[in-house]
Amino acid sequence: MALHVALFDTKSYDREYFDAAPAAAGLQLRYLEHRLNESTTVTAAGAAAVCCFVNDRLDRTVLARLHQAGVRHVALRCAGFNNVDLAAAKELGVTVTRVPAYSPHAVAEHTVALLLTLNRKIHRAHNRVREQNFSLAGLVGFDLHGKTAGVVGTGKIGKLTAGILRGFGMHVLAYDPFPDPVWAAQHKIDYVPKLDLFARSDVISLHSPLTPETHHLVNEPSLASMKRGAFLVNTSRGKLIDTAALIGALKTGRLGGVALDVYEEEEGVFFEDHSDHVLADDELARLLSFPNVLITAHQAFLTREALAEIARVTAENLQRFAHGEPFLEGTQLA
Ligand code: NAD
């Protein structure tokens, strides 16, 4: 019998790429539009596996309820796994897999797209030109060439971002508790202590995972240590930044520009159309009011290549779970 999988928080593009994945052919995929949380676990009824995304909540209570309903596998269709209580999953005997690297290029390229757009004010220029306003006042940017970039977290995405920035002729500083000195030497990148990176960089880009150590990595003291007018880009996880402190630093002009693909309280806001509603989040509303803040709604991963790879790896792991085979190498978390 085909493995019954409940897929939470799915959009049209998820369905398109999962239906096209060869390994999905023998699976019974049930696409759900709502997110997984305590009150929606009941909708997994009948499924032996669930497939989840970044804003589905897989805490101990949810996992216990899923287990009670007969779910024995969680297939995350993302890289980050800070939303899953892995210890609880292990205790319950629920296996968990993720897609560790679907397209680090997609995220690195979006990071640089945000930086270029923000610096050269392309978003504002685009709006102006459409209104036949061809004035250039207020659109002055700066050359990236010769400036210093600081990359926090030199895993797959951080390394690619650093490489692109080197291509612009930037000096690149890096911080990572697990540095890769061979890569750094090859690309002429200097590992420095975190505070040095903050103090010396014109552009800071965050690429570390969300852990207890990285929670609010950018906070009042670290913002105070940054160069006046520095640019900050975050395509990693929203909770790496203390939003209240960020707003403070924007108001004083400490930060020259901020580009975010992720936001501390994005859950319940991002990925949905709220254009007909009053925005209840005052901090997000304040961020949207700054002319030097650019926000995209967690879309850095959204390329054809990444979606196809996410569907391929996830469907393949679901097949392997169905047949009691080992999961694809490097994908199992619990
Ligand atoms: P990775 O695991 O390859 O790299 C993470 C790096 O961060 C590692 O080198 C690790 O040593 C380092 N790190 C760990 N603790 C740190 C700390 N305290 N300070 C600084 N660095 C630290 O991960 P990746 O594939 O490069 O992804 C990075 C992050 O990007 C993911 O954790 C995820 O949150 C985010 N992401 C976002 C999107 C998006 O669409 N916006 C898509 C994919 C991934």
The pLDDT tens digits for 56-76 are 999 999 999 999 999 999 999
From the CB of 238, is ligand 1 less than 6 Å away?
A: no
Active site residue 34: no
Could you read off the pLDDT of 138-149 as tens digits, one per residue? 999 999 999 999
Question: What whole-number distance in Å separates Cα of residue 262 and Cα of residue 270?
Answer: 9
In a domain, 259, yes or no: yes
Query: Is residue 237 among the annotated active site residues?
Result: yes
Count other C-beta atoms under 10 Å from residue 192's C-beta.
16
Atom of ligand 1 nearest to the CA of 175: 20
Which one of the listed residues 264, 266, 309, 316 is annotated catalytic? Answer: 266
Q: How far is the CA of 105 from the centre of ligand 1 (A)?
A: 13
Q: Structural domain tally of the chain? A: 2
Residues 15 and 87 in one domain: yes
Does residue 235 fall inside a structural domain?
yes
pTM of the full structure: 0.92
Which residue's CA lies nearest to atom 30 of ligand 1? 236
Q: Using one digit for the tens of pLDDT, what is the confidence trace for 6-58?
A: 999 999 999 999 999 999 998 999 999 999 999 999 999 999 999 999 989 99
Q: Are residues 117 and 213 in the same domain?
A: yes
CA 235 to ligand 1 center in whole angstroms: 10
CA angle 120, 124, 130 (to 5 degrees): 125
Joined together, the tokens standing for residue 102 give 């679907």
DSSP H helical segments within 176-266, as ranges?
Answer: 181-186, 194-200, 220-224, 243-252
- Cβ(134) to ligand 1 under 6 A? no
Q: Looking at residue 25, what DSSP letter applies?
A: G
With a cut of 90, say whether residue 232 has pLDDT above it.
yes
pLDDT tens digits for 244-300?
999 999 999 999 999 999 999 998 899 889 999 999 999 999 999 999 999 999 999
Using a 6 Å cutoff on CB, does residue 157 contact ligand 1?
yes
State whether the beta carbon of 107 lies less than 6 angstroms from ligand 1. Answer: yes
Same domain, 120 and 57: no
Are 34 and 183 found together in one domain?
A: no
pLDDT tens for each residue of 141-175: 999 999 999 999 999 999 999 999 999 999 999 99
**Residue partners of 267: CB distance under 8 A and separation at least 6:** 55
For residues 49 and 162, state if they share a domain. Answer: no
CATH number of the domain that residue 75 is part of: 3.40.50.720
Q: Which residues pair with 28 in a beta bridge?
A: 4
Residue 329 forms part of a structural domain: no
Domain that holds residue 52: 3-102+303-322
Whose alpha carbon is nearest atom 15 of ligand 1? Answer: 208
On whether both 116 and 260 belong to a single domain, the answer is: yes
Is the CB–ligand 1 distance for residue 154 below 6 Å?
A: yes
Q: Is the Cβ–Cβ distance between 89 and 334 less than 8 Å?
A: yes
Residues 76 and 192 in one domain: no
| Residue 178 neighbours by CB under 8 Å, 6+ apart | none
Neighbours of 145 (CB within 10 A): 8
* Contact 150 CB / ligand 1 (< 6 Å): no
Q: What share of the chain is helix, strand, coil (3-state, %, to 5)?
A: 40, 15, 45
Average pLDDT of the segment spanning 94-123: 97
Task: Note whether 93 and 171 are same-domain residues.
Answer: no
Q: Is 177 in the pocket of ligand 1 (CB under 6 A)?
A: yes
> Are residues 256 and 112 located together in one domain of the fold?
yes
Instruction: Give domain status of residue 201, yes or no.
Output: yes
d(CA 256, CA 260) in angstroms, rounded, equals 14
Residue tagged active-site, from 237, 254, 312, 320: 237
Catalytic residue among 98, 110, 254, 298: 298
Residue 233 domain-assigned (yes or no): yes
Residues 130 and 263 in one domain: yes
The answer as to whether 171 is a domain residue is yes
Residue 77, CA distances (Å) to 26, 147, 219, 262 in order: 18, 36, 30, 17
Residue in this structure with the two tokens 């990444």, named with its chain if needed: 306
Q: Is residue 330 part of a domain?
A: no
Instruction: Please report where in the chains the tokens 């002729």 appear, as a residue.
Output: 169
Question: What gap in Å lies between CA 85 and CA 59, rounded to an integer?
Answer: 5
Residue 314 belongs to a domain: yes
- 125 class by beta-carbon count within 10 Å (0-12 exposed, 13-18 middle, 19+ buried): middle
Gap from CA of 154 to ligand 1 centroid (Å): 8
Tell whether 287 and 235 lie within a shared domain.
yes
Percent of the chain, pLDDT > 70? 100
98 plus 108 within the same structural domain: no
